[in-house]
Structure 1
Amino acid sequence: MIRAQLPSLQGVWDILDRVLDPEVPVVSVVELGIIRDLEWQQQRLQVTLTPTYSGCPATAFIEEEILQALHQAGIPDVQLRQQLAPAWTTDWISESGRNKLRDYGIAPPVGSASKRSLLGEDPIVACPQCGSEHTERVSEFGSTACKALYRCTDCLEPFDYFKCI
């Protein structure tokens, strides 16, 4: 019996970099930083992922998309493993992911996840449409729980801000 050639780990990373987040369909699961580790165990691929938060409603859908992409790439035996600790943080979003968020009209997280937000200090969030830093928070929650709704006071456009978590 001839075994099919399985992709290298870099090849698997490349495959997963084409799996898009369903809530922000311009950013991949790799760019979001939710893929924590890949490991070949004999002919089985183990994929370790950390959801953006433990109750994220998109997690099951993302896992199905990951499995489908890997199976279509000829990897029949895949084990998904959720790792909840350490908890996912917006610090794990890649620079390319942050740029794609901005280009899509969502302000990327400002700075790093820290206790500043717990102390009530609002970050300076630049408008993704015009680049102005003259913005204001309209609501703590935007289109999803991980985003806040902001408005630019220069161009007057509303936009989501991907909160630091």
Structure 2
Amino acid sequence: MMMSPVISQEDIYRTLEQVMDPEIPVLSVIDLGMITDVEVTGPNSAHIKMVPTFAACPAISYIKDNIRTVVENALGIAVTVEIDKQVHWESNRMTAAAKEKLKNFGIAPPQTVEGEMQPEIMLNTPCPHCGSEHTYLRSPFGSTLCRAIHYCKSCGQVFEQFKPLE
């Protein structure tokens, strides 16, 4: 009798690296620090907890469904996905690799927040195109809730920044 292989937490985390953010397709839910818990609940089942980057993010249902579908299809197990209401997402949850991917994608990554978040942190945002610090905040509201719009005085580019959140 052939036994099916046991799925591990590591298998699930590795698979979650393939679940990309629908608004920033170069970042996975792992890069963004959206996964708060993975539990193997049986030989053919798992429970995943996630936290959205913004509570009002319009893509929450899509991301939950995508997590479930990708993991189920890749590993052949039943998956439930739950919003973790005990954890609040903050930009410090993003990996260093995620911040570099954002920059290469043309979006300024959020600065690291230490202590209480000060709004001034958004004023000094280096340009992801030329690296200049001669930029200014044009609008705290970008194309999505998690982004702000900046202008670079050196290269003349308008760019978005992923907002730092604490």
TM-score for the superposition, normalised by structure 1? 0.92
Provide the rounded CA distance (Å) in 2 between the counterparts of 1:84 and 1:157: 38
Provide the rounded CA distance (Å) in 1 between the counterparts of 2:149 and 2:86: 28
Q: Is contact 1:141–1:147 with CA below 8 Å preserved after alignment? A: yes
Residue range with higher mean Cα deviation, 47-56 or 101-110? 47-56
Structure 2 residue 129 is the aligned partner of structure 1 residue 129:
yes
Q: Aligned partner of 1:83: which letter? A: D
| 1:93-131 CA distance string (max 9 Å, x none) | 0111000000000000012163312xx554411000000
Deviation, 1:68, is 1.2
TM-score for the superposition, normalised by structure 2? 0.91
Q: Is contact 1:135–1:151 with CA below 8 Å preserved after alignment? A: yes
Provide the rounded CA distance (Å) in 2 between the counterparts of 1:3 and 1:70: 20
| 1:49-69 CA distance string (max 9 Å, x none) | 011122211111111111111
Provide the rounded CA distance (Å) in 2 between the counterparts of 1:140 and 1:17: 30
Aligned residues: 163
Provide the rounded CA distance (Å) in 1 between the counterparts of 2:76 and 2:17: 16
Structure 2 residue 118 is the aligned partner of structure 1 residue 116:
yes
Q: Is contact 2:108–2:161 with CA below 8 Å preserved after alignment? A: yes
Provide the rounded CA distance (Å) in 2 between the counterparts of 1:121 and 1:34: 23
Structure 2 residue 96 is the aligned partner of structure 1 residue 73:
no
Describe the shift of the 1:92–1:133 C-alpha distance in structure 2 as closer, same or farther (beyond 3 A). Answer: same
4+ runs deviating over 3 angstroms: 120-123
Identical aligned pairs, as a percentage?
A: 33
* Structure 1 spans left out of the alignment, 5+ residues: none
> Which residue pairs with 1:143 in the alignment?
143
Q: Is contact 1:110–1:123 with CA below 8 Å preserved after alignment? A: no
